[in-house]
Structure 1
């Protein structure tokens, strides 16, 4: 490992060869490659077309083109699997379901802020077994597969295994969050402010990035009060395979509760209690 490199990069191909979810991971990485090609080409484009959806959130032509490209590949490679996407339709699970956010951070994307990513998760039964978060403008990709670990890198052939932090006290913790508006609407804003006032550090990295920083041990906790399944599905296996914990704000595991708390696990109960 270079003295100038924080993380060691090496091949994990042999170690993951026997994992039953490896083929799905490799396909998901291909989907992310196709997404990156579209999103990077349209980022900052003068002719980017942006509309406002009924929920008052923006959607661009890049969002729709990216999800369409992912769906086209899945139609060939996994024709029997269901798909739950942000822009082009949401199906109930048929046992296996791909959960897609073509551009997480669209408000950043349309304003030229380079913090956005494509999120792709694979659900089998009630479990999230593969997750890929690809943020090409940050030159970073995170991925995980069940019982196989969490990583940063383009794929298993050259990756860095990541782990959550070991910070065990709230007063020593760093937390990331999004805006305060949703917390106000939930009625928990005063509790959140009291909690973060007791912490070492608060920063608003926002969206997917907060959770990926938890997974790689750079941040100790992240939370948001209002999320959809496509915002979270890809994040769950990455956080949990990195040794962390991912629940809703009532402590129920997984991405099913419409909100999220991710942590290194050591801080989780204390944060839940405070909120």
Structure 2
């Protein structure tokens, strides 16, 4: 796991698998963890990292209900978990789905954990809205489209924007069952003004980005999605830096969801 300070009050950790990011943010005598790393040893050392950096974690936030963003309770079992209203609704509608998907992942890669994923007492937060941390407030913004749920978190005093599974420099836009290209594009367009308020953008997968790089990725992702919903989605252009074999396979996956009516 890699940890980098992007502001005096913000540390971004990146898991060694899928480059999944988690963001520690503090204000005054309180700190939150947004999303989570994946591997058990990463989660095990996270409390020590937070303590050494003087980030007293008292709460957890998750940008959406995909299992790889919900593992913070393994590191901070006493911390309350807050999610946007759409994510709370998805967790209610899909009881146990995240735990089953985590179990499948662990079985595939022979990973042992101290116990099954448990998410009692999830708190639904209004989006758009605000969430207090210490002496400051986080801004919560809608970010659906990749999935049926989602929120982005702006840390105004640090000028850091945590976007969830958007704006990755490694992966093209990924649809999922229940995803919507129109809503995905609407989210990207909402990010436009937010990027002017951020010096650092933290994607759900990949390294933190400066504002200019994030804006360039946003433009590329809009072009890809508009082509994906056009007359010839098979030929939707992949951004030049993301034309790997894995991303070509992901493009085929997106096409399969559209053909099967599982995404629109």
TM-score, normalised to structure 1, is 0.28
